[in-house]
Amino acid sequence: MNSSNIILVLCFLIGLACNSNKSKPNKIIEADLVLDAINQSILDHPGTDSLYYTRAQHYLAQLNYDLAVKDMLYLVDRSPDIPVYHHSLADAYLDKGDSYQALKTMEDAAIQLKERIPTLLKLCEFQNILKQFDASIKTCLRILEKDPINADA
């Protein structure tokens, strides 16, 4: 089974576990089954980043922020050029309540990803959420220097 088929199966299982109308204990069992399937897939295909990303998203859905952050940190370290890993790590930190690390992650991502406009927009969003309005305006100006007609800035 190739990795794209594995991902489709895992997404189906996660959707099934999250959308079930059954009682809470059954949801916990289903979530555990999904996690078991993801973990087994990681053991079978340890080099597949998307499996770690899927597991991190599963942890986030279960409000297990520490484990989600751990997987996202692994992915950022392993594949630092993938923007969604940085963005998801920052989201996980923010969901966890660690606004300092969330903002630092986005600031580092903006540098590492060579001031990529969608990353700068995400940084601007975080600065606004955290009421750092002066920094947010400066980030918007950086975006407008790169793309003067960017409507999102």
Pull the structure tokens for residue 57: 């998203």
> Which residue bears the tokens 């949801």?
27
For 103-144, what is each residue's pLDDT tens digit? 999 999 999 998 899 999 999 999 999 999 999 999 999 999
Angle CA 28–91–104, to nearest 5: 140
CB 74 within 8 A of CB 52: yes
Angle CA 13–69–100, to nearest 5: 140
Angle CA 101–104–109, to nearest 5: 125
For 59-98, what is each residue's pLDDT tens digit? 999 999 999 999 999 999 999 999 999 999 999 999 999 9
Distances (CA, A) of 70 to 29, 42, 76, 129, 149: 23, 15, 10, 23, 38
Return the pLDDT at 113: 92
- For residue 45, the Cα-to-chain-centroid distance in whole angstroms is 20
